[in-house]
Amino acid sequence: MNKLYEIVLKTPWPYWIAGIILSLLNIFLLITTGSPWRVTSGFLYWGMGFLEKLGYSDFTGSYIELYGGLTAGETFLLNTVSILNVAVIAGALLSVLISNEFKWKKIKNAKQVAFGITGGLLMGYGAIIAFGCNIGAFFSGIPSFSLHGWVFGGSMVVGGVIGSKILMRYMV
């Protein structure tokens, strides 16, 4: 029992097993909801829902109006992507709690905060103009036979190399 706990819940799973599970789950998601896994559009919906709460409702010419996304009965706050995003966080929390690795992380220094905020803004902006993040554009884009998934993948490698060089220079 102890050994099983160690293997299944304590040590990281091999990439290929995780890959197979993720792709099966994505197939299940496509069948049940009609759309493969997306993440960032959920944050966009939340932002627009927030604007809507503030009384702003003219989204003419916006990403959502141009490319749609929400199905009938869904709102900016309550929709499939929102539920999935909350579920991902809940699942990750459950996983660290079971493996007894949960920990509140402290902020190291101001530099970490500055890098975090800048990186977050760039990622958020980039993900929307790229039609998704590494999940929506890459992980779901490629099996949807969309060319943009491959372009995204290639750009991600280039961006990763440049990003590591910047980190190496300023953060390490």
Cα Rg for the chain, rounded, in angstroms? 19
Q: Which is nearer to other proteins, 102 or 150 (CB)?
A: 102
Within 152-171, the residues that bind other proteins by CB under 8 A are: 164, 167-168, 171
Distance of CA 61 to the CA centre of its chain: 25
Q: How far is the CB of 164 from other proteins (least distance, A)?
A: 7
For other proteins, which residue of 100, 118, 120, 150 counts as binding (CB under 8 A)?
Answer: 100
Q: How far is the CB of 133 from other proteins (least distance, A)?
A: 16
Angle, alpha carbons 116-122-127 (nearest 5°): 120
- Cα–Cα distance for residue pair 165/6, rounded to 1 Å: 36
Q: How far is the CB of 92 from other proteins (least distance, A)?
A: 11
Place of tokens 């197979």: 20
Q: Which is nearer to other proteins, 3 or 105 (CB)?
A: 105
- By CB under 8 A, tell whether 105 contacts other proteins: yes
Within 4-33, the residues that bind other proteins by CB under 8 A are: 12
- Cα–Cα distance for residue pair 16/22, rounded to 1 Å: 10
Q: What six digits make up the tokens of 13?
A: 């799973």
Using CB under 8 A as the binding criterion, the count of chain residues that bind other proteins stands at 16
Q: Which is nearer to other proteins, 83 or 96 (CB)?
A: 96
- Cα–Cα distance for residue pair 109/107, rounded to 1 Å: 6
Q: How far is the CB of 112 from other proteins (least distance, A)?
A: 8
For other proteins, which residue of 4, 31, 107, 158 counts as binding (CB under 8 A)?
Answer: 107
User: For residues 77 and 49, is the Cβ–Cβ distance under 8 A?
Assistant: yes
Distance of CA 56 to the CA centre of its chain: 26
Q: How far is the CB of 65 from other proteins (least distance, A)?
A: 36
Which residues have a Cβ under 8 Å from the Cβ of 49 and sit 6 or more positions away? 75, 76, 77
Question: Which residues of the chain form contacts with other proteins (CB under 8 A)?
Answer: 12, 96, 100-103, 105-108, 112, 164, 167-168, 171-172
